[in-house]
């Protein structure tokens, strides 16, 4: 399932749309590179006010680089640097198996239903409930829960698309949250390509140079 | 493939859903910003139009010296200015060029243009980089204060994110990712800083170099830096900092620096004298995200070379004694001392910085509120400054920013040249 969503070492572009309660939208475009289960780096391409910002995630560690500030600042997974319903860990998502252990497996029609439990206390959500299509291992829906058992948000994976080179995965993720009742956020994936990446691309010193990869 | 990306739109269709109706389907089409195969040139920046009004503190010696000889009726002054930031980045294969400029316009006669950064770099690989020119560094983990910021330009603690001028320097950096093992990442920086030209504004004395080294490691999910700095006169400083996430919403950080002879200016018998302070400066802080989406940053900072309460009172007495003479030459000399020997924005020893911020409070869309205080623990004076931000359109921001200063007349914040301030910023990005 992780291999379907994030196949090996890849680069891709994403558009994030945050819809506000008044119907207006805020949009961001990111260039992202991912390697192994737990390395993600992301560069802001638009809007101009955020252009040049970059984020890095290595396992449980996350940093934000702002050109004006001139150094990476450690951030936490529950923060949201772009606002809206997606938090940092949603946008810089690792393989699910890097952060969670499967503790229960059920079946319902053509889907598996998995209960996942966070491996550490720095993971954003204490537990997940995940629906996966049996025939192709594609995730359909993920519900994210707090330690109290309260539902924090729901992610729905839609529009399965063939990106070429054997990469077939949902191209749209929609999210809603009972904590942000009037807000909606959507992430659209585009131009996913396999790319050889050196490990040093995923270091703090390289954050200001991420644009060189494009 | 590059041309392909530049020319096409990636059309991403979404089926109708409860959340998104058909009319909104066009949102799922976006153009990937262009990339260049050979050379990349990017220009960006922002224009800040700022209007401010401040209530002056006429009893302050700093006010008296700053406005000596000026006829200022009333207790209020206003200012309107334009701050223009223009940045350019050029990349051709392994060679890069970076320029960050700052221009300030207050009237036709006082237009200032300066290069905040101007450097070339050789990016030999993801592991090796080399740069020469004027460059800004930002060492340390503290938000408003950085005792280990040996190569930093001093921040404005009241606005730590403000772009600042860099320093002339040569930097060599080696960077290594280690996938397995105790150390996950490792980086070594070596920086040589020539002394700024202070002879006829073109030359400086030979031997007035300083150098700084930093070793960074990511160990067991902890950022760890060790620094060393040697400056003119063989003065040495040794430092370390760390930061780590304790939980999904809590980050802690700290810095410690030991100096074997930090220069500090003090006033003895109404005259400036140089002293040397050996010992530790340090900072300890945290960043916490509350469940109601409020972020709190709290830092405690001890400055070993800062002034004690008595030393600060002696400094204020020195300013006042020289001001009341009315001697223009002595007042010029005192201004020079004020802006050179006592130029730090926070001159004393112990401070607490606390900032709380929250996006879209009370469901006020596109807004953000924050409030910060810098509390001087030595004389119990402080600044309290709330901010209201509003982003009505993409790439546009409006900021309403009042500041209130509290403290006795001879305290640090009570002796500033103003007591209250209100600024309104209009910021446009491009």
Report the DSSP pairing between strands B250-268 and B236-247. antiparallel
H-run or E-run covering B64: helix B61-66
pLDDT in tens, B309-329: 999 999 999 999 999 998 999
Q: CB-based contact (8 Å) between B245 and chain A?
A: yes
Token digits of residue B327: 């001697």
The pLDDT of residue A2: 67
* Chain B residues near residue A22 by CB distance under 8 angstroms: 365
Measured distance CA(A61)–CA(B177) in Å, rounded: 14
Residue carrying structure tokens 């309660």: A21
Mean pLDDT computed over every residue of chain B: 87
The pLDDT of residue B7: 35
Write out the DSSP string of B367-392: EEEEEEEEEETTTTEEEEEEEEEE--
Burial class of B349 by CB neighbour count within 10 A (0 to 12, 13 to 18, 19+):
buried
Are A200 and B126 inside 8 Å of each other by CB?
A: yes
Q: Could you tell me which residues are beta bridge partners of residue B216?
A: B187, B225
* DSSP designation for B197: P
H-run or E-run covering B175: strand B167-177
pLDDT in tens, B145-174: 999 999 999 889 999 988 888 999 999 999
Q: How far is Cα of residue B155 from the mean position of the Cα atoms in its chain? A: 3
Q: How sure is the predictor about B218, in pLDDT bands with cuts at 50, 70 and 90?
A: very high
Q: With contact defined as beta carbons under 8 Å apart, do B361 and B367 qualify? A: yes
Token digits of residue B421: 């301030």
Contacting residues for B269 by C-beta, under 8 A, at least 6 apart: none
Q: CB-based contact (8 Å) between A214 and chain B?
A: yes
Has residue B10 got a pLDDT over 50?
no
Token digits of residue B409: 């007349």
Q: Which of A15, A46, A192 is closest to B26 using CA atoms?
A: A15
In this structure, of A34-43, B2-11, B92-101, B377-386, the range with the lowest mean pLDDT score is B2-11
Measured distance CA(B385)–CA(B117) in Å, rounded: 30
Q: CB-based contact (8 Å) between A74 and chain B?
A: yes
Write out the DSSP string of B19-64: SS-GGGGGGGEEPPPP--SSEEEEEEEEEEEEEEEEEE-TT-HHHH
The pLDDT of residue A37: 83
Q: CB-based contact (8 Å) between A178 and chain B?
A: no
Q: With contact defined as beta carbons under 8 Å apart, do A1 and A137 qualify? A: yes
Q: CB-based contact (8 Å) between A121 and chain B?
A: yes
Q: How far is Cα of residue B350 from the mean position of the Cα atoms in its chain? A: 19
Q: Of residues B385 and B6, which shows the higher confidence score?
A: B385
Has residue B265 got a pLDDT over 60?
yes
* DSSP designation for A84: S
Token digits of residue B208: 């007035």
Q: Of residues B108 and B347, which shows the higher confidence score?
A: B347
Give the number of residues written for chain A: 214
* Chain B residues near residue A161 by CB distance under 8 angstroms: 12
In this structure, of A150-159, B67-76, B151-160, B295-304, the range with the lowest mean pLDDT score is B67-76
Has residue A7 got a pLDDT over 80?
no
Are B287 and A76 inside 8 Å of each other by CB?
A: yes
Q: Of residues A127 and B111, which shows the higher confidence score?
A: A127
Find which of A52-56, A63-67, B358-362, B371-375 is predicted with most confidence, using mean pLDDT: B371-375
- The C-alpha of B6 sits at a distance from chain A's nearest C-alpha, in angstroms, of 12
pLDDT in tens, B219-262: 988 999 999 999 876 689 999 999 999 988 899 999 999 998 88
* Chain B residues near residue A47 by CB distance under 8 angstroms: 394-395, 429
The pLDDT of residue B9: 35
Q: With contact defined as beta carbons under 8 Å apart, do A74 and B244 qualify? A: yes
C-alpha triplet B367, B116, B186: angle, nearest 5°: 85
Q: CB-based contact (8 Å) between B5 and chain A?
A: yes
- The C-alpha of A76 sits at a distance from chain B's nearest C-alpha, in angstroms, of 5
Token digits of residue A75: 């951030």
Are A45 and B32 inside 8 Å of each other by CB?
A: yes
Measured distance CA(B327)–CA(B334) in Å, rounded: 10
Q: How far is Cα of residue B426 from the mean position of the Cα atoms in its chain? A: 20
State yes or no: ipTM above 0.95. Answer: no
* Chain A residues near residue B136 by CB distance under 8 angstroms: 70
Measured distance CA(B79)–CA(B56) in Å, rounded: 13
Measured distance CA(A213)–CA(A195) in Å, rounded: 10
Q: CB-based contact (8 Å) between B28 and chain A?
A: yes
Q: CB-based contact (8 Å) between B359 and chain A?
A: yes
pLDDT in tens, A164-188: 888 888 999 998 888 878 888 899 9
Are B218 and A46 inside 8 Å of each other by CB?
A: no
Token digits of residue B332: 């010029």
Are A58 and B141 inside 8 Å of each other by CB?
A: no
B259-B260-B261-B262 Cα dihedral, nearest 10 degrees: 0
Q: Which chain A residue has its CA at the smallest distance from B429's CA?
A: A49
The pLDDT of residue A55: 94
pLDDT in tens, A59-112: 889 999 998 888 899 988 777 877 778 888 888 887 788 888 989 888 888 889
For residues B256-281, average pLDDT: 90
Query: Phi-psi category of B270—alpha, beta or left, where left has phi over 0 and alpha has psi -120 to 50?
Result: left
* DSSP designation for A9: S
H-run or E-run covering B192: strand B183-193
The pLDDT of residue B321: 93
The pLDDT of residue A91: 84
Three-class secondary structure of residue B155 per DSSP: coil
Q: With contact defined as beta carbons under 8 Å apart, do A197 and A214 qualify? A: no
Mean pLDDT computed over every residue of chain A: 88
Q: CB-based contact (8 Å) between A159 and chain B?
A: yes
Verify cis geometry, omega within 30 degrees of 0, for the bond prior to A47: yes
Q: Which of B381, B312, B382 is closest to B354 using CA atoms?
A: B382
Are B365 and A51 inside 8 Å of each other by CB?
A: no
Q: Return the number of other C-beta atoms located less than 10 Å from residue B341's C-beta.
A: 17
Three-class secondary structure of residue A205 per DSSP: helix
- The C-alpha of A113 sits at a distance from chain B's nearest C-alpha, in angstroms, of 22
Give the number of residues written for chain B: 430
Measured distance CA(B168)–CA(B357) in Å, rounded: 35
The pLDDT of residue B107: 80
The pLDDT of residue B37: 59
For residues B367-373, average pLDDT: 95
pLDDT in tens, B14-68: 333 433 444 344 456 677 776 655 678 889 999 999 999 999 999 999 999 988 8
Q: CB-based contact (8 Å) between B12 and chain A?
A: yes
Q: CB-based contact (8 Å) between B21 and chain A?
A: no
Are A158 and B216 inside 8 Å of each other by CB?
A: no
Residue carrying structure tokens 């700022």: B50
Whole-model pTM?
0.85
Token digits of residue B241: 């900092």
Three-class secondary structure of residue B423 per DSSP: strand
Q: CB-based contact (8 Å) between A66 and chain B?
A: yes
The pLDDT of residue A212: 86
Are A15 and B397 inside 8 Å of each other by CB?
A: no
Q: What are phi and psi of B268, to 5 degrees?
A: -130, 125
Best probe of the B interface among A74, A128, A184, by most B CBs < 10 A, is: A74
The pLDDT of residue B52: 95
Q: CB-based contact (8 Å) between B106 and chain A?
A: no
Question: For helices B328-340 and B309-323, what crossing angle results, to 10°?
Answer: 150
Give the A:B interface size as CB pairs under 8 Å.
Answer: 173
The pLDDT of residue B121: 95
Are B289 and A171 inside 8 Å of each other by CB?
A: no
Could you tell me the sign of the dihedral formed by the alpha carbons of A91, A97, A101, A102, in that order?
A: positive
Percent of chain B that is helix, strand, coil (3-state, to 5): 10, 55, 35
């Amino acid at each position: 399932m992780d291999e379907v969503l994030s196949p090996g070492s890849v680069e891709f572009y994403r558009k994030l749309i945050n819809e506000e309660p008044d119907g207006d939208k805020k949009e961001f475009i990111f260039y992202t590179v991912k390697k192994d289960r737990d390395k993600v780096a992301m560069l802001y391409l638009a809007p101009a006010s955020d252009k040049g910002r970059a984020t890095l995630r290595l396992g449980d560690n996350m940093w934000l680089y702002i050109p004006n500030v001139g150094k990476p600042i450690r951030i936490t997974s529950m923060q949201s640097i772009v606002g809206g319903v997606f938090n940092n860990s949603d946008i810089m998502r690792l393989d699910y198996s890097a952060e969670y252990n499967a503790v229960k497996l059920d079946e319902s029609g053509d889907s598996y239903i998995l209960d996942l439990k966070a491996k550490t206390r720095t993971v954003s959500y204490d537990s997940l409930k995940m629906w996966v299509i049996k025939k192709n291992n594609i995730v359909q829906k993920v519900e994210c829960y707090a330690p109290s058992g309260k539902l924090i948000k729901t992610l729905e994976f839609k529009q399965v698309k063939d990106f070429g080179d054997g990469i077939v995965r949902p191209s749209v993720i929609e999210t809603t949250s009972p904590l942000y009742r009037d807000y909606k956020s959507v992430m659209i994936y585009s131009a996913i390509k396999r790319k050889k990446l050196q490990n040093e691309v995923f270091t703090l010193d390289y954050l200001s140079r991420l644009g060189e990869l494009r | 493939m590059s041309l392909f990306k530049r020319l096409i739109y990636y059309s991403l269709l979404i089926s109708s859903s409860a959340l998104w109706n058909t009319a909104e389907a066009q949102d799922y089409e976006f153009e990937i910003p262009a990339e260049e195969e050979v050379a990349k040139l990017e220009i960006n920046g922002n224009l800040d139009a700022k209007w401010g009004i401040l209530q002056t503190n006429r009893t302050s010696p700093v006010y008296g010296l700053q406005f000596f000889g000026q006829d200022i009726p009333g207790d209020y002054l206003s200012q309107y200015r334009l701050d223009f930031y223009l940045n350019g980045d050029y990349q051709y294969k392994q060679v890069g060029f970076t320029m960050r400029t700052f221009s300030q316009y207050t009237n036709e006669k006082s237009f200032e243009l300066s290069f905040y950064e101007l450097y070339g770099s050789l990016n030999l690989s993801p592991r090796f980089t080399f740069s020469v020119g004027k460059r800004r560094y930002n060492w340390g983990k503290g938000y408003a204060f950085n005792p280990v910021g040996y190569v930093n330009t001093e921040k404005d603690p009241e606005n730590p994110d403000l772009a600042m001028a860099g320093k002339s320097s040569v930097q060599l950096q080696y960077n290594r990712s280690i996938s397995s093992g105790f150390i996950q990442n490792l980086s070594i920086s070596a920086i040589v800083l020539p002394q700024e030209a202070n002879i006829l504004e073109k030359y400086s004395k030979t031997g007035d170099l300083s150098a700084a080294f930093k070793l960074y490691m990511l160990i067991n999910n902890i950022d760890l830096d060790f620094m060393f700095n040697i400056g003119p006169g063989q003065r040495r400083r040794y430092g370390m900092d760390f930061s780590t996430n304790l939980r999904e919403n809590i980050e802690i950080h700290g810095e410690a620096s030991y100096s074997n002879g930090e220069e500090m200016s003090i006033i003895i018998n109404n005259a400036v004298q140089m002293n040397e302070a050996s010992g530790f400066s340090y900072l300890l802080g945290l960043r916490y995200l509350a469940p109601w989406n409020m972020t709190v940053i709290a830092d405690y900072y001890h400055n070993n070379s800062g002034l004690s309460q008595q030393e600060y009172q002696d400094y204020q007495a020195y300013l006042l004694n020289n001001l009341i003479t009315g001697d223009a030459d002595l007042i010029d000399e005192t201004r020079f001392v004020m802006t050179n020997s006592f130029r730090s924005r926070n001159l004393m020893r112990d401070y607490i910085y606390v900032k709380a911020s929250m996006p879209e409070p009370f469901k006020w869309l596109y807004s953000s509120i924050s409030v910060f205080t810098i509390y001087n623990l030595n004389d119990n004076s402080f600044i309290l400054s709330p901010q209201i931000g509003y982003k009505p359109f993409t790439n546009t921001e409006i900021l309403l920013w009042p500041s209130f200063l509290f403290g006795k007349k001879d305290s640090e914040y009570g002796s500033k040249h103003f007591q209250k301030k209100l600024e309104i910023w209009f910021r446009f990005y491009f």
